[in-house]
Structure 1
Amino acid sequence: MDFIELKKKSAEELKDIYVAHLEKLKDMRFKIASKQLKNIREIRNIKKEIAQILTLKTVMNTKKNTQAPQAKK
């Protein structure tokens, strides 16, 4: 999934994708341990997508916090 596609997703969809990628990463690690996974590069791609999702979540939270009205002193 491209970063541009991830930007179009809502926060809830990003959370679902994040959880699914974590499960997929766990399964891949078990497959490597049992010598069933041939393409180890897939792990790199999954980790990259997880990092992109976490980055988007941080950006969304930052935007939300900066857009909130500040209290006057």
Structure 2
Amino acid sequence: MSANTVTVYEVDGMTCGHCVSSVDTEVRGVPGVTDVDIDLPTGRLTVASEGPLDDARIRAAVEEAGYAVKAG
């Protein structure tokens, strides 16, 4: 059984609830993601998954929603 993993990202450009909803929908579609939490004021995206996350897929999902993960 895989261990649960929590990964935190900072997302640029989210300004409203619609932004949050778009990112949430795209990231939840990534295989292995079990939960998503987004804090709009800080731009913090917290992703829980079964085992290690494919970082590139999370970043691509955020970009598909129209936003960017901050470099770092």
> TM above 0.5, one fold?
no
Which structure: greater helix fraction?
1
Higher strand share: 2
- Return the structure number with greater relative CO, CA threshold 8 A, min gap 6: 2
Q: Which has the larger radius of gyration?
A: 1
TM-score relative to the length of structure 1: 0.30
TM-score, reference length from structure 2:
0.30
